[in-house]
Structure 1
Amino acid sequence: MKAIRANKAFETTPILVLTAKAFKGDQEKCLECGVSDLRTKPINLEQLFSTIKKWLV
């Protein structure tokens, strides 16, 4: 993610992470690396679509 953010063309591109397991502190680490948002399984489709909409609008 740091490499993606280092490329000027992708500085503002939303990066959404879907993960099977998230341990304490994982979200903070992801955000520090340039992730826009993080969702864990089981995926709540309503929440996922809301997150996607948030970043695309």
Structure 2
Amino acid sequence: MTKARKEPIGAGAILAFTILGGTIAGGLMGQPSAGLLGGTALGIVIALLLWLYDRRK
């Protein structure tokens, strides 16, 4: 008997929103490239944390 597998958690929308938010916040401070990189880094960290959380289930 196999264990029922649930669908994995998706993090694509979270990644997209953090990139967009970082770019907007950076643009307001005059550094859109830095905001883009910061938002990307934050999104990757959140996506990795979600992946690790989902793996434990």
TM-score, length basis structure 2: 0.35
Whose helix proportion is higher, 1 or 2? 2
Whose strand proportion is higher, 1 or 2? 1
Query: Which has the greater radius of gyration?
Result: 2
TM-score, length basis structure 1: 0.35
